[in-house]
Structure 1
Amino acid sequence: MKRILLAALMACASLPALAQENFPNRPLRWVVGFGAGGVGDMTARLVGQKLSEALGQPVVIENRPSAGGIVATETVARAAPDGHTLLLVTATAATAPHLFRQLPYHPIDDFEFVSQIASFPQIIVTSATSPYRTLQDLMNAARAQPGKINLGSVSVGTALHLSLALFQSMGQLPVEVVTYRTTGELLNATATGDIGGAMEVAATTLGQISGGRLRALAVTSPRRASVLPDVPTVAESGLPDYNVVTWNAMAAPRGTPRPVIDRLNAEVRRVLAMPEVRDRLLPLAVEPNPTTPEAMRQMLVDETALWGRVIRAANIERQ
């Protein structure tokens, strides 16, 4: 009996090693909660291609767009915890618990976090023909004309909308916030002067800034973006405590063996250090930023608390 129990214990102890040794044994699915073409989707496809070369199995990007990324997130939360189904986590994971009355998963407890993938600043832009040369100009004009200046972002509850709400609150700006369905509509309204300024991801505005339609006033990150070295941060422009960076990350279903998580983490780090990957990302103001699984989880905990406070202050009702 003792020999049987000892053999059973040894077999259990060897399971993580076997999981690591056999991983991966088929193609991987990396589920993305929005459509093709955005910064997150582009990042996942670039990193996924390099991961497939390293792992010896295809990494298939599966776009499953929905409000709040719920469909994609639930898909991965319910998948087998063997590392073959992954989720591209975005800042939406920190806002969704405060925007939806019920979620079919827990955004933190139902996942094992592999690593952050990248971070990228948002940017406040205005029309190239507007009178605002600096962010301070825009803020001064808003305070001098309460309710007369509109600022825009994409849909209510997105990271961009909430970043704008935080800017409005911290700056004590008496402005109207207008939301648009798409980035194209938002940037067109900004370029034509229909609104005084907008909050957008830097990567989506670079072409219109260089093309002379938009003027960059400030980036939201704690330091200036390397592709826009002459554009100050919001902190440099009068709000020293303002610091918002958008990000994406990789996660697997809860219960995925730690050796599998460690293997994925190591490969993600190796891919993000490749010069050809960095050369593709950095011109878009996307900064490769791998972390430990523990650091990624803690960041999501902290961001969930932060955006909960912002959402409550903005009186955004749960759906």
Structure 2
Amino acid sequence: MSFRSRLRAFLPSACLGLATLLAASAPASAETYPDKPIRLIVPFGAGGITDVAGRLIAQYLGEELKQQIIIENRPGAGGSIAAQVLTQSKPDGYTLLLGTVGTQVVNKMLYAKLSYDPAALTPVSLLSNSPFVLAIHGVDGVHDLKGLAAYAKAHPNQLNAGSAGNGSSPHLGLELFKLITGTQITHIPFKSGIEAVNAAVGGQVQVVIDALPVIQPQDKAGRLKMLALAAPKRSAIAPDLATSVDEGMPDFQVGSWNALIAPPGMPQAQVEILNQALERAMAQPKLVARLAEMGIEPLPTGLAAYQAHVKAETDKWYKVIQAAGTRLD
């Protein structure tokens, strides 16, 4: 057989072998996704309300996807560090971010130069929200939000309020309360929400805003007095606690909400797989019950609900940040 004949005989099998090799090394398609563990980046340290919610939801989402979801905590700069890591990751669905109001909405208002573009990230869905509660210590005669507003007006800048730090959700919640009520309260930033709550317990500050599970034990022990939940409906773990709507301040709503976010350029097919699995996971009665035990409420899944929520949050916090003049650079 001539060389040319042997070459013609060899080429079909060689091409088939090359095609098989390329198929084996190609990224997983939507039909096989996910076929390995997924990394979920959490923009805060372990143990906080954001981390706890993320880990719990990740457990149930992983069961629906039949893959392990590994939590990676990347705290710092209001979530900017975690968001930057996501931006630099491959858009293959194996690196995701537990988005927050910081990463998705307010960081772009607080920093002149941001290490990532929130608009370039690929949103998947909302996940959950943990409404905040406003509490006081050592403010005699105050029993509700209107009473606190009246006291603050009569004593401008004499009340100190602690938060988890400049630009944090509790800080912005305080600024929202001040804007709505026309009051002057001095903000004292701490390194974490726990430090701010401890400062309130110790009398260093008189006002504090944070997640209900963080403050409720101090209220039960008589060390703080909860005034109201900054939410439209009451919490199952504190049914007797009035809401801001109950007290005639419907615009005073703030909490720690989360969303599932993918890298820029994530294929829509993978986004849809995540959304379908997430919808099934968030409908699990055991997950809903466990979230409720911690004062966390599930949010509507899907892209439309996410977009509407982010638009409303953007409009609200832009006004608050402009009025307060808050900047982080």
Pairwise same-fold verdict (TM > 0.5)? yes
Query: Is 1:220 matched up with 2:224?
Result: no
Deviation at 1:224, TM superposition (A): 1.9
Query: Is 1:102 matched up with 2:113?
Result: yes
* Inter-partner Cα distance in structure 1 for 2:254 and 2:198: 24
Contact 2:232 2:250 in 1 (8 A): no
1:161 is matched with which residue: 154, 171, 193? Answer: 171
Q: Which residue of 2 aligns with 1:51?
A: 61
Q: Which moved further from structure 2: 149-158 or 26-35?
A: 149-158
Q: Which residue of 2 aligns with 1:235?
A: 245
Query: Is 1:267 matched up with 2:240?
Result: no
Gapped regions of structure 1 (runs ≥ 5): 1-17
Deviation at 1:244, TM superposition (A): 2.7
Q: Which residue of 1 aligns with 2:264?
A: 254
* Inter-partner Cα distance in structure 2 for 1:202 and 1:36: 18
Deviation at 1:129, TM superposition (A): 8.1
* Inter-partner Cα distance in structure 1 for 2:94 and 2:178: 42
Contact 1:190 1:196 in 2 (8 A): yes
* Inter-partner Cα distance in structure 2 for 1:130 and 1:227: 26
Contact 1:95 1:159 in 2 (8 A): no
Deviation at 1:128, TM superposition (A): 7.7
Q: Which residue of 1 aligns with 2:89?
A: 79
**CA deviation digits over 1:122-151, x for unaligned, max 9?**
110113885422222222211122222222
* Inter-partner Cα distance in structure 1 for 2:325 and 2:69: 41
Q: Which residue of 1 aligns with 2:301?
A: 291
Deviation at 1:102, TM superposition (A): 1.2
- TM (normalized to structure 2)? 0.86
Matches within 5 A, 1:63-74: 63-74=73-84
- TM (normalized to structure 1)? 0.88
* Inter-partner Cα distance in structure 2 for 1:284 and 1:129: 28
Task: Tell me the secondary structure at the aligned position of residue 45 of structure 1.
Answer: helix
* Inter-partner Cα distance in structure 2 for 1:267 and 1:128: 48
Q: Give me the identity figure in percent.
A: 34
Deviation at 1:302, TM superposition (A): 3.2
Q: 1:81 to 1:104 in 2, by over 3 A?
A: same
Q: Which has the larger radius of gyration?
A: 2
Matches within 5 A, 1:298-313: 298-313=308-323
Q: Which residue of 1 aligns with 2:289?
A: 279
Amino acid at match of 2:155: Q
* Inter-partner Cα distance in structure 2 for 1:203 and 1:229: 13
Matches within 5 A, 1:184-223: 184-223=194-233
Amino acid at match of 2:187: V
Q: Which residue of 1 aligns with 2:143?
A: 133
Structure 1 residue ranges (4+ consecutive) displaced by more than 6 angstroms after TM superposition:
none
Gapped regions of structure 2 (runs ≥ 5): 1-27
* Inter-partner Cα distance in structure 2 for 1:119 and 1:177: 24
**CA RMSD, 1 decimal:** 1.9
**CA deviation digits over 1:198-220, x for unaligned, max 9?**
11111211222223322110111
**CA deviation digits over 1:248-276, x for unaligned, max 9?**
01011122221211111111121122122
Q: When the two structures are aligned, how many residues end up with a matched partner?
A: 301
Q: 1:30 to 1:211 in 2, by over 3 A?
A: same
Task: Tell me the secondary structure at the aligned position of residue 115 of structure 2.
Answer: coil
Q: Which residue of 1 aligns with 2:158?
A: 148
